[in-house]
Amino acid sequence: MVASKRAKRAKRITIADVAREAGASVATVSRVLNGVDTVAPGLAERVRSAMDDLGYRPSAAAQGLARGRSGTIGVLVPDLANPYFHDIIKALSAVARSAGGRVLVMDSNEDPAVERELTEDLLRYADGLLLCSPRMPRADLAAMAGRGTPLLVTNRQVQGLALHSITVDFFRGIMALCGHLARLGHRRVLYLEGPRHAWANGERLRALSGAEAFGLDVVTLPCGSTTDEGYAVAPAALESGATAVIAYNDFVALGVLARFSELGVRVPDDISLTGFDEIDMARFAAPPLTTVAVPRDRLGQAAGEALGRIMAGGEDIEPETIPVELRVRSSTGALS
């Protein structure tokens, strides 16, 4: 026989091939594949060996279509490079995996428009969706919430929308930070603001104004969420007259710290500094950063479980709030 025309796309091996090879019906193959029913041990064995003789690999698309669900849960994050989201994803993946599912991650690059688009796309693939810290306008969220989409949102609360959510207790975190600073004698603190549209930023501001009731003087400076932005804003921070600065998160704090160090400003002797989130690097900074630990793995796990319930048609899922914990290290000190 003439050699097949090269590059002759090796036809996909299907369940029918396996059935033929094993001398069984496709139904039977499907059964052993799904570990269901009671297939005669002998037959099952033949099927199994036929499967790996042929290197059979079930088509996810076909299974998904036939089953009516993909076994995939989608996750949309604003920035994959942020370790904050890794831990969430990891924990979520673990939950999904233990249920025979998997996670499909996408990165919206902090762009609300892309976010909306990807959400739509993700929904075509996944059975349920986790939106991490979504920046998209309320209206978009509302549109999805309406259609009974299996959606779960983290780090954002949307008033008056039937939207399941899990949030972190940023409020308490900031209060703890403020209390700590106040006990050290600080009276005037500077808050470096996070991204404009981040709910987390709003929460922090809300808490901060609460702290003012306790006699703490709070000034703010627009900044952002990255090390670069922290580095850039550091000189201005110095001029605020505050004796302590509360950075939006650890990245910002690290940037501030780097700049301070270059400027010869000593932390905490000259000025105290705090972060938020407790990323790994926080404790390796010089000095190690006082920050607020957010149990992201717990968040991820809770999200996985909640989504499971939601997709199972579960009604009334309780909104959850994950507690945080103050981590005092040496970037904060008593006012001399």
Segment 241 to 260, residues that bind a second copy, using CB under 8 A: 254-255, 258
Binding test (CB under 8 A) with a second copy, winner from 265, 273, 285, 299: 285
Q: How far is the CB of 230 from DNA (least distance, A)?
A: 46
Distance CA 126, CA 309 (A): 15
* Cβ contact 53:23 at 8 Å: no
DSSP 40-74: -HHHHHHHHHHHHHHT----HHHHHHHHT--SEEE
User: Which of 21, 30, 77, 252 is close enough to bind DNA by CB under 7 A?
Assistant: 30
* Single-letter code of the amino acid located at 140: D
Q: Applying CB under 8 A, which of residues 23, 53, 209, 284 lies at the interface with a second copy?
A: 284
Between 45 and 262, name the residue whose CB sits nearer to a second copy: 262
Q: Binds 323, which of a second copy, DNA, none (CB < 5 to 8 A, cut-off by type)?
A: none
| Site mask for a second copy (CB under 8 A), range 189-228, x = bound | --------------------------------------x-
Q: Taking the complex as a whole, how short is the minimal distance between the CB of residue 148 and DNA, in angstroms? A: 15
Looking at 16, 40, 65, 113, which residue binds a second copy (CB under 8 A)? 65
| Helical ranges in 278-331 per DSSP H | 296-311
Residue 121, interface with a second copy (CB under 8 A)? yes
User: Considering the rule CB under 8 A, would residue 120 count as an interface residue with a second copy?
Assistant: yes
The nearer residue to DNA, 30 or 225, going by C-beta atoms, is 30
Angle between helices 296-311 and 83-98 (to 10 degrees): 40
Name the residue nearer to DNA (CB basis): 40 or 334.
40
Comparison of 91 and 152: residue with beta carbon closer to a second copy: 91
What track of x and - describes contact with a second copy for positions 292 through 321 (by CB under 8 A)? ---------------------x-x------
Beta partners for residue 166, in sequence order: 154, 320
CA distance 93 to 116: 23
Please tell me what DSSP assigns to residue 190: E
**Residue 197, φ and ψ in degrees, nearest 5:** -95, 10
Residue 148 contact partner, candidates DNA, a second copy, none, CB within 5 to 8 A by sort of partner: a second copy
Q: Does 27 bind DNA (CB under 7 A)?
A: yes
If one asks whether residue 90 binds a second copy (CB under 8 A), the answer comes out as yes
Which positions ≥6 away from 115 have C-beta within 8 Å?
A: 76, 78, 108, 134, 135, 136
CA distances in angstroms from 94 to 73, 286, 297, 304, listed in the order given: 12, 34, 10, 9
- Report the distance separating Cα 135 and Cα 65, nearest Å: 32
C-alpha pair distances (Å), 209 with each of 27, 202, 215, 287: 65, 11, 10, 28
DSSP 155: S
Cβ proximity to DNA, 6 vs 9, nearer residue? 9
236: left (phi over 0), alpha (psi -120 to 50) or beta: alpha
Q: DSSP secondary structure string, 7-38?
A: T---PPP-HHHHHHHHTS-HHHHHHHHHT-S-
281 binds a second copy (CB under 8 A): yes
Binding of a second copy at residue 81 (CB under 8 A)? yes
**Binding residues for a second copy (CB under 8 A):** 7, 9-10, 12, 55, 57-62, 64-65, 68, 70, 80-81, 83, 86-87, 89-90, 93, 102-107, 109, 120-121, 123-125, 147-148, 227, 231, 254-255, 258, 261, 280-281, 284-286, 313, 315
**Binding residues for DNA (CB under 7 A):** 11-12, 14-16, 23-28, 30-31, 33-34, 36-40, 42-44, 56, 58-59, 62-63, 65-68
